[in-house]
Amino acid sequence: MLESIAVMFSYGFMARAFIVGILTSLCLALLGVSLVLKRYSMIGDGLSHVGFGAVAVAMALGAAPLAVAVPVVMIAAFLLLMISDDGSFRGDAAVAVISSSALAIGVMSASLSSGINSDVHSYLFGSVLAMSKSDVMLSVAVSVAVLLLYVICYNRIFAITFDETFGRATGLKVDKYNTLLAMLTAVTVVVGMRMMGALLISSLVIFPALSAMRVFSSFRSVVICSALVSAVGFCIGIAASYWLNTPAGASVVIANLVIFLTFSTVGAVLKTNE
Amino acid sequence: MPIIECKNLTMAYGSHIALRDLSFAIEAGDYLCIVGENGSGKSTLIKGLLGLQQPKEGKIILNGITHREIGYLPQQSMAQKDFPASVKEVVLSGCLSYKHRTPFYSADDKIKAAAALEKMGISDLEKRSFRALSGGQRQRVLMARALCAADRMLLLDEPAAALDPQASAELYALIGDLNKKEKMTIIMVSHDLDAAGKADKILHMANGCAYFGSTEQYYHSDVCHHLTGGGHHHHA
Ligand SMILES: Nc1ncnc2c1ncn2[C@@H]1O[C@H](COP(=O)(O)OP(=O)(O)OP(=O)(O)O)[C@@H](O)[C@H]1O
Ligand SMILES: [Mg+2]
């Protein structure tokens, strides 16, 4: 067992996958708690689809994928936030329209230029092999920045998640922090998309938070548990993908699903015992 | 000089006028109760006083107090029904109103939060989960948060809606104490005429001002009889 784990890490790409994956899972899980509680979970989904569209267009035009995707997704984050804040059912529908349009544009531009080749495929479903050294550096830098900002703004993020109106009334810059949340999510989604796949990454935003909320009942414990669950889910998923030779993104999502079901059961048992 | 003065205040959502030509003034230490039918513009006035919404016409003048020095208890919403938060986290978040640069809570903030819980008589709930509390306990927690945010003035939007008679009587007693003992200025929206009886002043709204003055005179006025005798029952 230990030996085969050692062998797994002796592959450079697996070591890179673990570093980047754990960091991005942590970031997405932290941000996810607020997004889920604010009923913004669709934003994560929308952002990843926009990210894919941007990457596909960039590849078709021969531009650097991430250099195009990061600003495009940040702008999309801003728009999606404004639309979601509208509060009406139209907002919800608009997010869905934007995300499927972006996906369609991506698929179209990919098939018109080079066809759905392995690059496009890896952006859709993710790949551990796709990570280059510079991808790793970028991911680590972004994740560390996101984690630091999250910790510094933690108390304010709690306040705007719990009660925007009260925050506004007492002078908190609610819009500023909402935008920050959306921007941090945007960059993390783009960075994590490479490995997890555009279609699957948004589940990393939602699943850990949902799992944590089943069992824990203070914000801090939910945030911490969500981060741990996410990191553990990632490790289990990626290890499974290595041994079973299954796609990385899908394996991680399944691991998260199993954790979620386990936590739901534990939560239900705890509740009946209370 | 009045601490808050509204002059010919008109507020609107787009072209829909929510309240028209309202003028009144209250002094520091007053206990004002705002009454009126559903949709008469009470919550809109509260939003104006908090600076959350700009007047369409007229003015709201604050003397010697800023918007963020006003504590606020929102009209109950179901949004936080399942929110995972401890009572302590909720109450502490009130302290952010006066923290501008520092990211974390100081020892003073924690003392302040504990004192606010004490005043509301819920020190024992500190570690409990907000979502597991009763309606009355939740309102007290939110009051404690408002006390952390502000120690001179509180704005309460239907604090006792959805509470049983006993819990609402206790809550009104706490609010009365804050006014009498802590000398806080209180502005409270309520449908409950018994509660209104404890206030010094009454503002009766009907998309504008139908009555503004002392509580005693209010009970002899026509507007009051209209509200109690006209078949308008507003129970939330
Ligand atoms: N967000 C909004 N957008 C548009 N119109 C609104 C909005 N909020 C309130 N209104 C309208 O403004 C008017 C005053 O509403 P407001 O919420 O101030 O009433 P209220 O006196 O607080 O009622 P209630 O007793 O039900 O709480 C109503 O006609 C209402 O339909
Ligand atoms: Mg109202």
Give B226's pLDDT tier (boundaries 50, 70, 90): low
As a whole number of Å, the end-to-end CA separation of chain B is 36
Q: How many CA atoms lie within 13 A of B156 on its CB side?
A: 34
| pLDDT score for B236 | 34
User: Which among A156, A163, A220 has the least Cβ separation from residue B80?
Assistant: A163
Selected residue with higher pLDDT from B171 and A8:
B171
Supply the residue whose CA is at minimum distance from atom 16 of ligand 1. B41
Give yes or no for a contact between A271 and A215, defined as CB atoms under 8 angstroms apart: no
Express each pLDDT in B169-191 by its tens digit. 888 999 999 999 989 999 999 88
Question: Residue written as tokens 């267009």?
Answer: A57
Ligand nearest to C-alpha B191: 1
Taking residues B47-72, report their average pLDDT.
Answer: 90
CA of B55 to the centre of ligand 1 (A): 15
Q: DSSP assignment, residue B168?
A: H
| pLDDT score for B230 | 45
Express each pLDDT in A39-48 by its tens digit. 888 888 899 9
Contacts of B23 by beta carbon, 8 Å cutoff, 6+ apart: B6, B7, B8, B9, B58, B209
Supply the residue whose CA is at minimum distance from atom 30 of ligand 1. B39
Beta bridge partner(s), residue B61: B5
Q: Which of residues 19-78 of B touch A (CB under 8 A)?
A: 50-52, 67-68, 70-72, 74
A137–chain B Cβ distance below 8 A for any pair: no
B71/A162 Cβ within 8 A:
no
Taking residues B56-84, report their average pLDDT.
Answer: 86
| pLDDT score for B227 | 61
User: Which among A156, A216, A220 has the least Cβ separation from residue B89?
Assistant: A220
CATH code at position A200: 1.10.3470.10
| pLDDT score for B128 | 94
Q: Alpha helix locations (H) across chain B?
A: 42-50, 87-93, 107-119, 135-149, 165-180, 193-196, 215-219, 222-229
A88–chain B Cβ distance below 8 A for any pair: no
A169 contacts in B (CB within 8 Å)? Answer: 50-52, 67-68, 70, 72
Contacts of A33 by beta carbon, 8 Å cutoff, 6+ apart: A161, A209, A212, A213, A219, A222, A223, A226
Q: Which of B9, B10, B13, B75 to mutate to test the pocket of ligand 1 (most atoms within 8 A of CB)?
A: B13
Domain that holds residue A129: 2-273
B86/A218 Cβ within 8 A:
yes
B129 contacts in A (CB within 8 Å)? Answer: 217-218
A162/B93 Cβ within 8 A:
yes
A173–chain B Cβ distance below 8 A for any pair: no
Give B235's pLDDT tier (boundaries 50, 70, 90): very low
Ligand nearest to C-alpha B236: 1
In total, how many domains does chain A have?
Answer: 1
Query: Over 70: is that where the pLDDT of B212 sits?
Result: yes
Nearest atom (ligand 1) to Cα of B75: 27
Taking residues A60-65, report their average pLDDT.
Answer: 86
Show the tokens assigned to B208. Answer: 């504008």
| pLDDT score for B224 | 66
| pLDDT score for B232 | 41
**Other beta carbons less than 10 A from residue B10's beta carbon:** 18
| pLDDT score for A227 | 97
| pLDDT score for B228 | 60
Give yes or no for a contact between A123 and A194, defined as CB atoms under 8 angstroms apart: yes
Phi-psi region of A39 (alpha: psi -120 to 50; beta: other; left: phi over 0): left
Give yes or no for a contact between A66 and A138, defined as CB atoms under 8 angstroms apart: yes
Beta bridge partner(s), residue B13: B16
- Predicted complex ipTM: 0.88
Q: Flag the least confident range among B58-72, B82-96, B209-223.
A: B209-223
B119–chain A Cβ distance below 8 A for any pair: no
Express each pLDDT in A97-148 by its tens digit. 888 999 999 988 888 887 667 777 888 888 877 778 888 898 899 999 999 9
Please state, in angstroms and rounded to a whole number, the distance separating the CA atoms of residues A14 and B102: 40
Please state, in angstroms and rounded to a whole number, the distance separating the CA atoms of residues B53 and A21: 44
Query: Over 90: is that where the pLDDT of B64 sits?
Result: no
Show the tokens assigned to A140. Answer: 């680590």
Q: What is the 3-state secondary structure (H, E, C) of chain A?
A: CHHHHHHHHHCHHHHHHHHHHHHHHHHHHHHHHHHHHCCCHHHHHHHHHHHHHHHHHHHHHCCCHHHHHHHHHHHHHHHHHHHHHCCCHHHHHHHHHHHHHHHHHHHHHHHHHCCCCHHHHHHHHCCCCCCCHHHHHHHHHHHHHHHHHHHHHHHHHHHHHHCHHHHHHCCCCHHHHHHHHHHHHHHHHHHHHHHHCCCCHHHHHHHHHHHHHHHCCCHHHHHHHHHHHHHHHHHHHHHHHHHHCCCHHHHHHHHHHHHHHHHHHHHHHHHHHC
What's the mean per-residue pLDDT of chain A? 89
SS3 category, B206:
coil
B97 contacts in A (CB within 8 Å)? Answer: 170-172
